[in-house]
C-alpha cells in the first residue's frame, strides 16, 4: 500500500500525485495519513483505486471523484463527495453540511449523522446515512436515492424533482412539493441493496418513501384566474 503523509506533503502535492502520477503506476491501494482536517483532500481523482484517509478531513473530501473508492476513518467536513461522478466515498464518522451535494453518480455512505442540506441538488448519486440528517436535506434533488436510517430534519426534499428518499425514523417536516408515498417491492429491494452496500442492518419494511408530488414541475404562464 502506498502511503502519503500530509505532514510531509501538502494537499497540492498529494492531489498532483493522484491526478498525474498514480495513473502511470500499478498502485491500486493507497492511504493518506495525518489529514488533520485539511480541505480539498483527494479532489478530482480520475483513476480506479482504493484510498483510505486515516483521520478527519475538511471541506470537499473526494470532491468530483470519479472511479476511486475512498474511505475516511474519521469525520468529514462540508461538501464531502460533492459532484461525485462514480466510485464511492465512505465516511466512518460524521459528515458536515452539503454531503454529496450535486453528485451525479457513485455511492456516498456516512456511518454517523450529517449536517444541513445533505444531498442538495443531487443528480444521480446514492447516499446512505447510518444516522440522522440535518434540515433542508435533498433540496432540489434531481435524481438518485437517499436512505436515512435515523431521522430527517426540517424541510426534507424541498422542491425536489426525481430523486427518492427512504427514511426509517421521524421526519420533522417535508419541504414544498415533497410527499410520503407507499413503499413498493421495488423500493424494498432498492433499500436492501443500498443497506447491503453500506454494511448496515435494518429492515427495509421499516422505511418510508418520500418523492415529489410534481406540482411544481411546470410554471403555468397561461393561467387565467379571473373567474
Partner 1 sequence: MSKHHLEESVGFSSKTRDYIQRASSTGLYEIRGIGAKRALPSFDDLVFLAGSASRYPLEGYREKCTTKTVLGTRFAKKPIVLDTPITIAGMSFGALSANVKESLGMAATNMGTSTTTGDGGMTPEERNSSKTLVYQCLPSRYGFNPDDVRKADAIELVIGQGAKPGGGGMLLGQKVNARVASMRTLPQGVDQRSACRHPDWTGPDDLAIKVAELRELTDWEKPIYIKIGATRVYHDVKLAVHAGADVIVVDGMQGGTAATQTVFIEHIGIPTLAALRQAVEALEDMDMIGTVQLIVSGGIRSGADVAKALAMGADAVAIGQGAMISLGCNNDTYIKDGAHHSAEADYAALDTKAGFCHHCHTGKCPTGVATQDPILEQRIEPKVGAKRVTNYLKTLTMELTTVARACGKSNVHHLEREDLVCLTLESAAMAKLPLAGTSWIPGVTEAK
Q: Does 223 bind partner 1 (CB under 8 A)?
A: yes
Q: Does 179 bind partner 1 (CB under 8 A)?
A: no
Please report, for residues 24, 73, 86, 106, the alpha-carbon distance to residue 48 in angstroms, rounded to integers and kept in the order given: 12, 20, 10, 13
Cα–chain center distance at 151: 16
Tracing cell 455511492 back to the chain, one arrives at 107
> Which of 104, 66, 73, 119 is closest to 88 using CA atoms?
66
Stretch that binds partner 1, among 26-34, 94-102, 149-157, 174-182 (CB under 8 A): 94-102
Alpha carbon distance 159, 111 (integer Å): 27
Q: Does 225 bind partner 1 (CB under 8 A)?
A: yes
Q: Does 220 bind partner 1 (CB under 8 A)?
A: yes
Q: Does 22 bind partner 1 (CB under 8 A)?
A: no
- Return phi, psi of residue 224, to 5°: -125, 105
Stretch that binds partner 1, among 48-56, 68-76, 115-123, 185-193 (CB under 8 A): 115-123
Nearest distance in Å: CB 55, partner 1: 18
Q: Does 193 bind partner 1 (CB under 8 A)?
A: no
Contact of 164 with 191, CB cutoff 8 Å:
no
Among 49, 89, 120, 167, binds partner 1 (CB under 8 A): 120
Rule CB under 8 A: which of 58-87 touch partner 1? 58-60, 63-64, 66, 78-79, 82-83, 85
Contact of 193 with 173, CB cutoff 8 Å:
no
Nearer to partner 1 by Cβ, of 42 and 167: the residue is 42
Stretch that binds partner 1, among 87-95, 119-127, 147-155, 200-208 (CB under 8 A): 119-127
User: Looking at the chain, which runs of residues are DSSP E strands?
Assistant: 2-5, 29-33, 50-54, 69-72, 88-91, 107-110, 123-129, 143-148, 164-167, 178-181, 208-212
Alpha carbon distance 175, 10 (integer Å): 41
Nearer to partner 1 by Cβ, of 66 and 188: the residue is 66
> What is the contact surface with partner 1 in residues (CB under 8 A)?
11-12, 15-16, 19-20, 39-40, 43-44, 46, 58-60, 63-64, 66, 78-79, 82-83, 85, 97-98, 101-102, 104, 117, 120-121, 123-124, 139-140, 142-143, 159, 161-162, 216-221, 223-226
Amino acid at each position: 500500500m502506498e502511503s502519503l503523509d500530509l505532514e510531509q506533503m501538502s494537499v497540492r502535492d498529494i492531489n498532483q500525485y493522484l491526478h498525474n502520477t498514480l495513473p502511470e503506476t500499478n498502485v491500486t491501494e493507497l492511504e493518506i495519513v495525518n489529514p488533520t482536517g485539511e480541505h480539498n483532500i483527494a479532489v478530482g481523482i480520475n483513476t480506479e483505486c482504493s484510498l483510505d484517509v486515516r483521520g478527519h478531513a475538511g471541506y470537499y473530501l473526494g470532491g468530483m471523484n470519479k472511479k476511486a473508492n475512498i474511505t475516511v476513518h474519521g469525520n468529514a467536513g462540508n461538501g464531502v463527495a460533492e459532484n461525485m461522478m462514480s466510485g464511492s466515498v465512505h465516511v466512518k464518522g460524521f459528515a458536515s453540511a452539503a454531503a454529496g451535494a450535486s453528485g451525479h453518480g457513485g455511492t456516498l455512505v456516512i456511518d454517523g449523522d450529517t449536517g444541513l442540506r445533505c444531498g442538495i441538488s443531487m443528480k444521480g448519486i446514492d447516499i446512505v446515512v447510518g444516522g440522522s440528517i440535518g434540515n433542508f436535506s435533498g433540496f432540489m434533488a434531481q435524481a438518485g436515492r437517499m436512505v436515512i436510517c435515523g431521522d430527517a430534519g426540517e424541510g426534507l426534499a424541498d422542491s425536489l424533482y426525481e430523486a427518492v428518499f427512504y427514511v426509517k425514523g421521524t421526519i420533522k417536516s417535508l419541504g414544498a412539493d415533497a410527499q410520503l408515498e407507499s413503499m413498493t417491492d421495488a423500493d424494498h429491494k432498492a433499500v436492501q441493496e443500498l443497506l447491503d452496500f453500506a454494511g448496515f442492518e435494518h429492515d427495509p419494511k421499516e422505511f418510508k418513501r418520500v418523492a415529489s408530488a410534481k406540482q411544481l414541475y411546470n410554471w403555468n404562464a397561461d393561467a387565467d384566474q379571473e373567474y
